[in-house]
Amino acid sequence: MTTVKDPFSQKLAGWAVSGSEYNQNGKVLYLTDGLLKERLLYDENFITKDTKLNKSIVFFVDEVHERSVNIDHCLALLARILTLNSDLKSKIKLIISSATLDTSVPKLFRQIPQIRFAKFEMPQMHTLYPVTKCARPNANILNIVQEFYQERSRYDQILCFVSSVKEVNECCSLLKKITGGAITAYPLVQSQQASVQQEYIDKGSVFFSTTVAETSLTFPQLKYVIDTGLINVPVYDSNSKRTVLRVVRAAESTIKQRLGRLGRTQPGTYISLYDFKVEDKQYPTPQICQSDLVNIEFSLRKSPLQKGLNYMKDFLPDKPSQPLIDHTVQQLRDLGILGKAPSEALTQHGIALAKLPDFGSLAMSKCVLASLQNYNCGRDMISLSSILSVLNTTVVLKGIPQHFKSSDGDFMTLLNVMDQILLVKQSVPSKDFRLERVCKAKGLTGIQHILKQALRRQTNLEKAFNLSVDYRTKAQIKSNDWELIAKSLLAGYSSNVFASMKELQDRSQLYIRYNNSADNDIAELDSQSVLARTTTKDPPSFVLVRDIRYSTSVRSKALLSFVGEIKPEWVEYGITRQLKLTSEEENRLNSNNIFQNALAKFSHRISMLLNNTAKAAILSGPAGTVFTSELHLRQNMVEEFHFQLENKNTPKSTQYTNLARNLESVMKMPQIFRPMQWRWQNQKQVIITVNCNTSTKTCDITVNARNSEYQNVKKEFDSFLRWLQDCAVIRHPNSGVSPRVFRPQVRSKYLDIEERIAHITDSKRTPIDLYNGAKGTQATRETRMEVVAWIAVCIFSCKLEGGFVRDWVVGNYTARPQNLLGNPKAWISYTNSIPYIDKEVVPADLDCHLPTHAYFDIEKFHDELYKYDITCKVFRQDWRYVLLIDEDAPTGPFTMDLIEPHVALTHDRIDFDVNNLSLEKDYTHELGMRVDIQQRPYLIELEAIVDNIKNKRFQILRPIDDLVQIRVDKMTKIRQWTQLGQPFSVVPSPNPKYSAVLVPLPRSTNLYQDIETDMKKKIGNSVQIVSIEQVKNPLLEDAYESMKKLIAKQCKSFNPNELPLYHGTKGPGIDGIRDDGYDDRYFNENGNWGE
């Protein structure tokens, strides 16, 4: 900027940003808020009473409504100057510019004596072109984009505001996918080069952006702004010492800025997707009230002020809470930077840190100091800090060519890049260095904008260290040794050490913070990390990370960004760990001298103690040695256990025979245990081997595990044996009736059923459909259940069956308890710690059989639900997962059963015909049957079942015992269904190897009690019933049904006069009845107990 009259006169304006400046002595100087804060805080001569000014110095602070930490800090420093220096009041003018202004800002300055504070509100000025507002609360943003894309003129642009970079990228990807590439959306995020952003704006029509597009970008043909009204805000929790990214509603000031993008070049339309009242939150929460303040506290204490936030809080527009300030001060004491209370002075370590340039964070300052003082790698750390200071996302790692990537991880990868650029820069005259040319040659063009900032930062740090008497020489020492660099990083990030949970005999691919805390701080590696590996490769055992990202958009797990693999012996900070033990495990450690050997190996470095009271091994000392000793104990507690699947029933009993036959079938298909084996290996690092020997008729199980885990495995196999014993005939994995469409005669009546089937089984269903079902304006409890079912069926290859298929998919029935309509959480009750839904709720739950061919990862399933804001609690039993879903959702909770595949094969019986339907992936119009009941004598086909459901009636297909009676009562008395006819028992056909199977009739069944009553009535009370067993002999059944039809032809009214009769026999005759039927030669129409 120059005067108009003389273009060659002295420039009026200059600028300064971090690492670069131009004409900084100009009369008008543009600064970032960060640089203004630094000058006000550290430059005591920035403005004094002796400053020579013709009139006054004017501070113009813009965008105050954003309430960033730096802006509030600047306002506080200016308020302090005006409060304490009355001589400067006449020399300073302060202009605060803001879209909206919280009352705390003018109040701050009005309370300063002898200060005139005038508030000038701009008149409500209309935009150059009119802007129409259109409310679409809770609509799916991708649907809205497609709608307005069809309305737009050729060059019109659509700008969409979403909450996070992750959502920006997801929306761009999904829009292209669901439109088949017809609409290409471009991402606009903070980490992009300005040239890339401009290129996108020049050629694009649809854009997704975070807050970056609110002010800093210009759109020449912007017609539509679509606003979710949400932003991502980092919020610090002093209790957990975590900063969590939370999705919150935008303030009115933010909404105004987004709205203000329109009406500049043409008429526009603002589409709001939020359902809140904008004016309810006029201003954003000041960041200084919800941030980690430790860096601010230290910067204040090392400045000429030498005072912290307890002093500066009185000059802030909004004060951080006193507990937060106290917590911050205590952190500095814990870090050895501030003396013990009541001292307010910096320690020698703190003084040493204060002499260093600003590295952006206290942690990085500690790292650099350690590299200078202890590890002789100062230049490495300065270079590494230069690039890390300009990185807040790991996307940059994706743009680095493979030859730069280091097996040690992300830190050395970034250092390799910096070293290459600096090597070229130092080898040519500064005037000849062209970063663009170097990046092109090295394959780094994609991150050139990052490297430009990093080099600027490097140059500034070099200048600062060249002026340092203490560290000028040490700052030039380069090692390129990862061990030394890692130890330097540990000086600042010692609390960011994570251990592989796989090494700790837990889940693969996950990490846990290795510290004293009992809290399970679970995390996974950022997928962009150099150390990120496929699930088939072992993860690094021990890692150091810079960033631990917690987000409300990611379920419970943190994301580890900028990661380096370290060796345990490098980690020296103190730690105490408790390794929980069972009595058997403690005995093993003692009786086999395992613990004594560990003491001999590690006790010179750490304390090791077996605590009988705590039932734990307590390890204390340097974290690296503790980790190594813990692994040593864990590995030596692993034993090899052996057992067999045994038949312990009384020989020749029906239970013994059935279990023996079923075990024989199991031995021919040991693959049914694979999902169980995969689960135990992935979740607990337990190796299960199943060896079935058909010649010896034994099934040998080998378990490599700690005793505590072996006991859990054994319990699971014992549970399976109980199911197997009660099962008449174990089902084949592919048994049942394959899904089929309705017969042509009725199909047209059931198109609505086919539509609901597709909601669950169509793997091509789009994320928009799923979003609408889970969170759309028309979303209900049932559509959310469909989404959960779709995830189970289409992503995890489960089979869906039971009540949900009956009540919702086919019946389209819903019901709620009238007395609990306003309190859906009250629908939940617990029995033996397992949740159940009120019987009046229809549909109540989801029932799934887990796949036989794949490992079902409950954590990944949980993550998939979380994508759609569906919450879930997991309850584990020996044979199934029980999930409580949507516990707090206004639509109402529901449960889900996920039955292990080896157990599902023992579920050979069906209670009601209407419960026999099932759904499978990509059968988008078809229904299947879990148990085949289409054959004689049952002849119940798909259409008959559907007709029964539509008319709310059902047939009972097994004897009525106590459990079945409860189900019958629920159907008839609570849900008002009608029972058809008398119950009859559907027993599956035996293995072809056997002619018949016997199924014990439970004493509690109505049929058992009727037979018992009848026999005592006809024979006498002296009769003693040992057992009643039902015979399933398919050949006899077919012969009997055929004979009954032949006899019926010869009878009046075609009535064969079928009556129940008793037949007495003994010994081999009993087996003869089972296998060959009754011996008619002994028939006597005058028998004692016939009818």
pLDDT digits (tens, 9 = 90+) for 1028-1082: 888 888 888 888 888 888 888 888 778 877 777 777 788 788 888 888 887 666 6
Cβ contact 806:954 at 8 Å: no
Q: From CA 215, how far away is CA 66, in angstroms rounded?
A: 12
Residue 241, SS3 per DSSP: coil
Nearest to 985 by CA among 1024, 1039, 943, 937: 937
Mean pLDDT of 872-883: 96
> Across the beta sheet with 28-31, what order do the strands follow?
20-22, 13-17, 28-31
Tokens of 115: 């200060």
pLDDT score of 135 more than 70: yes
Mean pLDDT of 722-739: 88
Per-residue pLDDT tens for 147-166? 999 999 989 999 999 998 88
| Amino acid present at 907 | H
Q: Which pLDDT does position 784 carry in this prediction?
A: 97
Share of the chain above pLDDT 70, in %: 95
Q: Tell me the per-residue pLDDT of 895-905, one tens digit each, with 9 for 90 and over.
A: 999 999 999 99
pLDDT in tens, 7-21: 656 678 888 777 677
Q: What is the pLDDT of residues 423-476, one digit of tens each?
A: 999 999 988 899 999 999 999 998 998 999 999 999 999 999 999 989 999 999
Helix (H, G, I), strand (E, B) or coil at 471: coil
Q: Specify the pLDDT at position 223.
A: 95
Check residue 743 and report its DSSP letter: P
User: Of the ranges 58-62, 126-130, 485-489, which one carries the lowest mean pLDDT score?
Assistant: 126-130
For residue 4, is pLDDT > 80?
A: no
* Mean pLDDT across 394-399: 90
How far is C-alpha 668 from the chain's CA centre? Answer: 39
pLDDT the model gives residue 739: 96
Q: Helix H segments across 494-641?
A: 583-591, 594-602, 623-637
Higher-confidence residue of 937 and 1088: namely 937
Distance between CA atoms of residues 51 and 278, nearest Å: 45
* pLDDT tens digits, 468-496: 989 999 999 999 999 999 999 999 999 99
| pLDDT over 80 at 257, yes or no | yes
Read off the pLDDT of each residue in 995-1013 and give the average, rounded to a whole number.
86
DSSP for residue 436: H
pLDDT band, very low/low/confident/very high, at 284 (cuts 50, 70, 90): confident
For 276-300, b/e burial (b = at least 16 CB within 10 A) is eebeebbbbebbbbbbbbbbbbbbb
pLDDT of residue 125: 58
pLDDT-based confidence at 23, cuts 50/70/90? confident
Residue 928 has pLDDT above 90, yes or no: yes
Q: In degrees rounded to 5, what are phi and psi of residue 73?
A: -65, -45
Q: Give me the mean pLDDT over the 541-546 stretch.
A: 96
**What type of residue is 731?**
R
Burial string for 504-514 (b: 16+ CB within 10 Å, else e) reads: bbbbbbbbbbb
Distance (Å, whole) CA 81 – CA 43: 13
Q: What is the pLDDT of residue 73?
A: 92
Angle, alpha carbons 395-241-521 (nearest 5°): 70
According to DSSP, residue 670 is labeled G
Q: What is the pLDDT of residue 5?
A: 56
Q: Residue 1: is its pLDDT beyond 60?
A: no
Q: What share of the chain in percent tops pLDDT 90? A: 60
Mean pLDDT of the chain: 90
Average pLDDT over residues 823-831: 95
Q: Are 1089 and 1018 in contact (CB under 8 A)?
A: yes
